[in-house]
Amino acid sequence: MKTQKVWLITGASRGFGLEIARAALAIGDQVIATVRSNPAQLTTALQNHPDLHVVQMDVTQEDQVQEAVQQGISRFERVDILVNNAGFGIITAIEEATDAEVRKQYDTNVFGLLNVTRAVLPYLRQRKSGRVINISSLFGHDVVPGWGLYGSTKFAVEGISKGLAAELTPLGIHVTAVAPGLFTTDFLSTESYVAAKTIIADYQATVGPIRSGADALHGNQPGDPKKFAQVILQLANTERPPLHLLVGKDAIAMCQSNAAKLAQEIEAWLLVATSTDHDQRITASTIA
């Protein structure tokens, strides 16, 4: 007999979050779904499912996060699987982005993830079990012009996940950073990503095509979000989940390309990079 699990999924109003929530409910699990606004809309979209509890929460507001997690615990008594999915992208050359635009990106994608993780971990540690699934990106392994700032937040997610895994695995809690490629979610819709207000002409050749091509790519990405959700379900029920999981042929290709470039750079600069140790020092043993 299947053991019913309790999921807490952030950013569940659409895209990956919505599909993961729908898939988890379909297999008989319970779902605490958080949305930044209009919780009734998600409740309706998921057909008022009896195992669904929707909570309005902004991941950047720590007080709201703590309260939302407590509400979910009150409803289902525990959390087994945390999916940190809330986030958004910004298209910009790094120089173009203002301090406010950068901070807003990090507040949601990095500090928001940390807010939710801190709120949930005490319950997982108490049970000495659970899963933390952090949604990263193919841009968390390599970047393209225009997505460098967004990618840097996902590099942070990868690093945080690695640190969490080292600290939590001995406590019976598994952590996975899932890096999807391009999927037909709303991520590239004008309602989901933002563009920096400042545009510098010198970046037209590099960032310009990315800026103008986002709308054309929207809806034509290769990945199917429903299939992605099934991968997350499989991951959540795997006895020994990986620390890193790239999902999509494009994500795998980008990571492999980056690894090959890094290996080439290490080899090309190996003599220089290994030339920095202190020269042999005179010790008692060498004198003897």
Helix (H) or strand (E) holding 245: strand 244-247
User: Which among 175, 130, 135, 158 has a CA at the least distance from the CA of 20?
Assistant: 135
State phi, psi for 278 to the nearest 5 degrees. Answer: -60, 145
**Which residues are catalytically annotated?**
136, 150, 154
What span, in angstroms and rounded, lies between the C-alpha atoms of 158 and 56? 26
Q: Which residues, 6 or more positions from 76, have their beta carbon under 8 angstroms from its beta carbon?
A: 6, 30, 32, 53
Tokens 């309005």 found at: 56
Specify the DSSP element, H or E, that contains 133: strand 130-135
Is residue 173 within a helix (H) or strand (E), and if so which, with residue range?
strand 173-180
